[in-house]
Amino acid sequence: MKKPTRSVRLLVVALALGLLPSAVAAEVHQATGFKVVNVTSTAADIWTRVTLRAAANPADAPLPRVEAFEVKTGKPVALRDNRAFPDARIVVHMPDGLELGAAAGAAPAATGQTRVRYRVKGATAWSETPWQEAKLERDGIVLHALSALVPAARYELVVEARGQAEGRRPNEQSGEFKTAPPPEQRERVVFSIATCQSYERLDRPGGLAIYPAMAALQPDFFVHTGDAVYYDQGAVLALTPALARYHWARMYALPTLRDFHRSFSSFFMKDDHDTLLNDCGPATRSGELTYADGARLFREQTGLPETAYRTFRWGHDLQVWLMEGRDFRTPDWQEKSTSAPTLWGREQIKWLGETLGASTATFRVIITSVPVVGPDRSNKDDNYANAGFAVEGNEIRELLARYPNLTVITGDRHWQYVSVDPATSVQEWSVGPSSAYRAGGWDEETPRPEHRFLRTGHGGFLSGVVTPTATGASLEIRLHDVDGGVVYRELK
């Protein structure tokens, strides 16, 4: 018998997986799981997504080939990592007529409906949200808002997804989360923070080691400070909305990430690589994506509120600020022509000062997607540790120095450090990259006087523990390796 050609084999696989344009899903799934986001004492959002298959496509499936051409001349444009292609027309090729949904790692969306059932853990009766339509134009995503929740309570939930076929049992995934204690309640709090994760830089089967390591700590909440995906790096640059969604789906279909987010509350912050490209700002464009497109897709994929900067209280002793580092920054071409370019913008800085002054929490934690203290490398100019933003950086550090028990925690840098600003004594902790494969940017043998701790060449994450005491409360902050081992800690 004649051996089938590669084209025929791919066609058979595509038909079996329901990945051709004419395919209709008989049932739906949740390959990318769900996320519990934006949790307060009495509310939470549940991010859900309907998918065509139960799991992402295998790694040996074909990869899309992305090409760029000059809009005016039609000449080919060479694609490189960490670059913008503002005047390029993008063409995406898949072999043998397959769709992008057949690509390696893809978890394509499907139409259907989702709802959420939830209750305080151990209770008898369930509450439920209405069924909502999951549409392809929204990448199969539905955000369900839960309200009137009990403070400081652990909830269990079941996310159900169903297609259009009658009589089929909905696909179900279960999980849990904890609501925040009210401001008057003293309670032990555990939180974890991570940054800079890349699909091409995984360090264990099924994803990243930091996620089961963080899960072992049973955090009350988790913060991702940005660069959750890297649009502008790797074998497939995300230069169209469809390719951007492909990056998100293949990352969050990884089992370690999917399982973590089913069980813990999360807050997402955006940075440059997961909004558009390296060092981007509001005026940036690359391929078919503008900055506005990138911001919209980030909100779609994470449930980020329309106003990205926000603060939340977690009991009597802890208040957290999540700063927005991209939306308000001075456009690149103006940075050198103004004496005081901005990163955070005057509106956000004013809000920060007002909310810091109004806070009665024992500990104030500022989480930022880019450094405030540093030090950073001399060849960079995208954060408050760099010379280009020194005027506003000095203003920010002086503002933060007014408040006791305040700590800055930054993502973005690919090494771990603890540093103290010599002028204001503001302390900053750098989370470090999610895996050792993303580590780099500093030499451990050349610490600066500002460094209290410096660790390069490794991945990891940060955690904090607030503990009520007889006289008030303590806050222990810890830097971890990827397996959860503590490499540095301080007690405040």
CA 387 to chain centroid: 28
β-partners of residue 453 are 418
Q: Quick one: 137 and 84 in the same domain?
A: no
The answer to whether position 418 is within a domain reads yes
Whether 331 contacts 376, CB under 8 Å = no
The answer to whether position 375 is within a domain reads yes
The answer to whether position 285 is within a domain reads no
**What CATH number did the domain enclosing 45 receive?**
2.60.40.10
Q: Quick one: 89 and 218 in the same domain?
A: no
Mean pLDDT of the chain: 93
Q: Quick one: 165 and 313 in the same domain?
A: no
- Sequence-distant (6+) residues with CB within 8 A of 110 are 25, 28, 29, 50, 51, 52, 134, 136, 140, 163
- How many Å apart are CA 451 and CA 441, to the nearest integer? 15
Q: Quick one: 317 and 438 in the same domain?
A: yes
- Sequence-distant (6+) residues with CB within 8 A of 438 are 196, 197, 198, 201, 414, 459
Please give the single-letter amino acid code of residue 282: P
Q: Residues 69-122: pLDDT tens digits?
A: 999 999 999 999 999 999 999 999 999 989 999 999 999 999 999 999 999 999
Structure tokens at 307: 């106003």
Q: What average pLDDT does the segment 150-163 reach?
A: 97
- Sequence-distant (6+) residues with CB within 8 A of 485 are none
21 confidence band (pLDDT: 50, 70, 90):
very low
pTM (2 decimals)?
0.94
The answer to whether position 219 is within a domain reads yes
The answer to whether position 300 is within a domain reads no
Tally of residues, the chain: 492
For the chain, counts of helices (H) and of strands (E): 8, 26
The answer to whether position 3 is within a domain reads no
Q: Residues 48-76: pLDDT tens digits?
A: 999 999 999 999 999 999 999 999 999 99
Domain region containing 440: 180-226+308-491
Q: Quick one: 336 and 462 in the same domain?
A: yes
**What CATH number did the domain enclosing 184 receive?**
3.60.21.70
Whether 484 contacts 218, CB under 8 Å = no
Q: Quick one: 32 and 140 in the same domain?
A: yes
